[in-house]
Structure 1
Amino acid sequence: MKLLHTADWHIGRTLNGYSLLDEQKYAFKQILQIAKDEKVDGIVVAGDIYDRAIPSTDAITTLNEMFKELNIDNKFPIYAISGNHDGAKRLNYGRDWMEFNNFHINTLLEEAFTPIETEDTQLFLLPFFDPMDARVYYQQQGMDEDKVKGIRTIGDAMTLVVNDMYKSFDTDKKHILITHFAVSPSADKEIELTSETTSKVGGLETVIASQFDKFDYVMLGHIHTHLASPSDKIRYSGSPVKFNVKEAKMTTDKGIYIVDTDEQPDKTDFRKITPGTDLIVLEETWETLLDPEFYSKQPVRKDWFAITIKEFDRSQHVSTNVRAQLQDIYGTVVELDYDNVEKKNDQEATSQNISQMSNEDVVGKFFESITGDELSEEQKSLVDNIFVELERGE
């Protein structure tokens, strides 16, 4: 069975107020063409289909057209799951009749235990879930109350879930898992979450690759670079589009994987996706940015720019409209920052950029600054649960 593995479309995402829909459509056209060229047997979308639980009308219309083109116009089966950004219950609407057209989407934990059967493969579609979802599910299954209370982490829950999946294995078929989590190669080696999130709340904490060792192949979503893949048979496809400056700074390409269950995975399985409008990161002095010899070598008025002006003294440019001057030269500047070295002090040098902190850490730092005490474990758990519910929009 030959599958196209993609994930983290985040349809409806914006970059500092600039819509990324056109860029997402451009990437989608390449995904569709790759699927045609490779004559795949299906398209996998491993979560975070939308960027938010309640997407905009434009996002809904765009995704509807994409799925229509894949599934109805070109007859590609779709195997999709919800991620932590998706509204699971809303995305579940229409699931039953979609299956008649070979469009399979799982958004709830209880749906994950029945595999989708093909001639030679069983596909298990495990959407994002958190420990509370697992506790509710297993309580409904009649599990002993003490054992239910023992489901404290996503690792605890995943062990139970995967073991129950193993019970449905057909030994004459290959077994594919599609899921959406941060998966570490081992217990003592965590992965960087890149741009997806700095949070490790609830289900966003990592699980261990060995928990999936009985599957022939695992298709992951959640981390936005394929280089985070724990192994050759447990892989992230990464997102098809650069979503922020951190991703733009990475030298790795965006793309998708072609997975053939009859062959061993290797590096040639990756297919590059080329940006329509790239995001270029520049960190230079004001003088360099205004130097024609420098900017003539840049894709000015073609791509988007995120610019940090180094060694910048604002007092020398009081009457200068800095952004306007840069946009006259470069075109669209989606992000502008300043590196004011003369204003740095010891406090700034040691402080953590709030944009790099998780929501939970921000709350913890604020609580500590007001009370002088750290959050208790019970308070941390309460904060975690609140942010899970807010993010999922349920």
Structure 2
Amino acid sequence: MRIVHTSDWHLGKIVNEFSMLDDQRFILKQMIDFLVQQKAELLVIAGDLYDRSIPPADAVSLLDEVFYRITVEAGIPIIAVSGNHDSPQRLNFASRIYERSGLYVEGIYNKTIRKITLQDEFGNIHFYCLPYIEPAIVRADFPDEKIHSYDDAFRTLIHHNLTEIDLTERNVLVTHGFFSYLKNPDAVERSDSEISIGGSDLIDASYVDMFDYVALGHLHRQQKAGRDNIRYSGSPLKYSIQESTSQKSITTIEMREKGELSIKKYGLTPRRDMRVLLGSFEQLSNAANVQGNREDYVYAQLTDDSLIPCAMDKLRTVYPNIMGMELIGRKHEFDASVSAAAAVKNKTPQELFEEFYSAVKGEEITDSRRTMASKLFSKLQGGYDDETN
């Protein structure tokens, strides 16, 4: 069976006040064409179909159109689970009716993991569909278990469902979350928006070793989670500056007899890329220096060491879809002049202020201002008499 694995569409997403809907429509059309050309037999979507629990009407219409074109027009079944951005109840609406057209959507968590069985020339393939889970929800179903973390919740669920998994046949898990082997949790890459405090959402990937393939969603970079057959497909588009250097792709899995599968990646070409521009304001604001598509979503990193009035407005005349700007020349100057944290502890407020003044103004503080600052700090510390000058 030829399976295509994708996730994290985030339909309706807005990035830096730019709606991504047209870009999403473009990339999903490309995905549909790919499914047809590759003669795919199943599309798996591992969560976060929408960007928020109450998606805009245009995003709902787009998903409806895409599902219709894939299942009805192309005749390719879909298996999808909800992610942490989706509303489980909304995504699950009318799902039993949709199954008649080959659309299997598992939006709501169930303590008995939903199993969908499909066949090919080698026999059965069992797809276990587990939506994004919260520890509190799982804890309610297993009051006798100590469930305090995502890892506890997932381990309990898998243990509860082990007897339902026939290890002599092919089994695929479709789920959404942060999986990595606990002995090396940093083996997977996450952007700033995907990082939880202290890795509190981490789930040990060793719990899913019994599956022939694990289709994961949640992380936006295409990557494996410890083993080649435990994979994140990544999002089809770049949704943050941290993803600017990553190549978006779609993952195909060719499943043959038990234990035999091949995995390939195919690159996706967006309507507009998201990239970082580095240079001086004079260089980047000159239309003659434009490289690549000027319609791309860009972040400008200016090497200038002084503020530039109306810089964003001027850059937008060259790059109409500029999303942000950073004055890294001034930042480096400031970083170089401020002492390390350990040294700061040994300096007085007066000394720290003088360093800050020099970094910001680009000049040494004058004697009169040094005296004025000294009096102010003395007053704040309780050693300054209001009646004296």
Pairwise TM-score range, normalised by the shorter structure: 0.7 to 0.9
The answer to whether structure 1 residue 259 and structure 2 residue 253 are counterparts is: yes
The answer to whether structure 1 residue 302 and structure 2 residue 295 are counterparts is: yes
Alpha-carbon distance, 1:238 to partner: 0.5
Partner Cα separation in structure 2 for residue 152 and residue 347 of structure 1 = 42
**Aligned CA distance change for structure 1 residues 207 and 71 (closer, same or farther; 3 Å):** same
Partner Cα separation in structure 1 for residue 294 and residue 31 of structure 2 = 26
**Aligned CA distance change for structure 1 residues 335 and 133 (closer, same or farther; 3 Å):** same
Partner of 1:332: 321
Given that 2:190 and 2:221 are in contact with CA atoms closer than 8 Å, whether structure 1 keeps it comes out as no
Partner of 1:152: 148
The answer to whether structure 1 residue 178 and structure 2 residue 174 are counterparts is: yes
Instruction: Give the 5 Å matches for 1:205-284.
Output: 205-248=201-244, 250=245, 252-262=246-256, 264-266=260-262, 269-284=264-279
Given that 2:178 and 2:203 are in contact with CA atoms closer than 8 Å, whether structure 1 keeps it comes out as yes
Q: State the one-letter code of the partner of 1:227.
A: Q
Structure 2 segments unaligned to the other structure (5+ residues): 342-389
**Aligned CA distance change for structure 1 residues 18 and 171 (closer, same or farther; 3 Å):** same
The answer to whether structure 1 residue 193 and structure 2 residue 190 are counterparts is: yes
Partner of 1:122: 126
**Aligned CA distance change for structure 1 residues 292 and 76 (closer, same or farther; 3 Å):** closer
What SS is found at the alignment partner of 2:223? helix
**Aligned CA distance change for structure 1 residues 222 and 200 (closer, same or farther; 3 Å):** farther
Count of paired positions: 332
Alpha-carbon distance, 1:333 to partner: 1.0
What SS is found at the alignment partner of 2:242? helix
* Greater relative CO (CA pairs within 8 A, separation 6+): 1
Q: Deviations over 1:106-125 (max 9, x none)?
A: 12221752310122100000
Q: Deviations over 1:10-54 (max 9, x none)?
A: 001111111111111111112111211221221100001100111
Given that 1:49 and 1:86 are in contact with CA atoms closer than 8 Å, whether structure 2 keeps it comes out as yes
Partner Cα separation in structure 1 for residue 113 and residue 48 of structure 2 = 20
Given that 1:176 and 1:216 are in contact with CA atoms closer than 8 Å, whether structure 2 keeps it comes out as yes
Instruction: Give the 5 Å matches for 1:37-186.
Output: 37-110=37-110, 113-119=113-119, 120-139=124-143, 147-148=144-145, 150-186=146-182
What SS is found at the alignment partner of 2:164? coil
CA RMSD of aligned residues (A): 2.3
Q: State the one-letter code of the partner of 1:154.
A: Y
Partner of 1:376: none
Alpha-carbon distance, 1:173 to partner: 2.3
Partner Cα separation in structure 2 for residue 167 and residue 347 of structure 1 = 60
Partner Cα separation in structure 2 for residue 88 and residue 323 of structure 1 = 40
Partner of 2:304: 311
Partner Cα separation in structure 2 for residue 311 and residue 348 of structure 1 = 22
Alpha-carbon distance, 1:186 to partner: 3.5
Moved more, 90-99 or 176-185: 90-99
Given that 1:218 and 1:234 are in contact with CA atoms closer than 8 Å, whether structure 2 keeps it comes out as yes
Partner Cα separation in structure 1 for residue 14 and residue 76 of structure 2 = 29
Partner Cα separation in structure 2 for residue 103 and residue 208 of structure 1 = 30
Alpha-carbon distance, 1:176 to partner: 0.4
Alpha-carbon distance, 1:290 to partner: 3.6
Partner Cα separation in structure 1 for residue 181 and residue 269 of structure 2 = 29
Moved more, 118-127 or 339-348: 339-348
Q: State the one-letter code of the partner of 1:231.
A: R
Partner of 1:366: none
Given that 2:254 and 2:262 are in contact with CA atoms closer than 8 Å, whether structure 1 keeps it comes out as no
Identity, % of aligned pairs?
Answer: 29
| Pair member with larger Rg | 2
Partner Cα separation in structure 1 for residue 213 and residue 223 of structure 2 = 16
Alpha-carbon distance, 1:262 to partner: 1.0
**Aligned CA distance change for structure 1 residues 93 and 333 (closer, same or farther; 3 Å):** same
Alpha-carbon distance, 1:305 to partner: 1.5
What SS is found at the alignment partner of 1:128? coil
Partner Cα separation in structure 2 for residue 96 and residue 152 of structure 1 = 33
TM-score of the superposition, structure 2-length normalised? 0.79
Partner Cα separation in structure 1 for residue 15 and residue 340 of structure 2 = 27
Q: Deviations over 1:106-155 (max 9, x none)?
A: 1222175231012210000011001111112234xxxxxxx23x111111
Partner of 1:391: none
**Aligned CA distance change for structure 1 residues 43 and 324 (closer, same or farther; 3 Å):** same
Given that 2:274 and 2:297 are in contact with CA atoms closer than 8 Å, whether structure 1 keeps it comes out as yes
